[in-house]
Structure 1
Amino acid sequence: MQITSIAAIYFLFWVMSAFVMLPFGVRTADEAGVEKVPGQAESAPVNFRPGRLALRATIIAALLTALFVANYEYAWITIADIDVLPKPPGAAAD
Structure 2
Amino acid sequence: MGWVSGIVVFFLIWWTALFAVLPIGTRPNPEGDPETGWRGVPERPRLLRKVLLTTVVSAVLWLGVYVLVESEWLSFRSGWLALPEK
Question: When the two structures are superposed, what TM-score results if normalisation uses the length of structure 1?
Answer: 0.68
Alignment of 1:77-92 (within 5 A): 77=74
Q: Unaligned 5+ residue runs, structure 1?
A: 82-94
CA distance in 2, matches of 1:48, 1:75: 43
Higher relative contact order (CA 8 A, sep 6+): 1
* Larger helix fraction of residues: 1
Aligned-pair RMSD on alpha carbons? Answer: 2.2
| Equivalent residue, structure 2, for 1:89 | none
Moved over 3 A (4+): 35-40, 75-81
Query: Alignment length, in residue pairs?
Result: 77
When Rg is computed on C-alpha atoms for both structures, the one with the higher figure is 1
Query: How many percent identity over aligned positions?
Result: 27
TM-score under structure 2 normalisation? 0.74
Query: What 5-or-longer segments of structure 2 have no aligned partner?
Result: 82-86
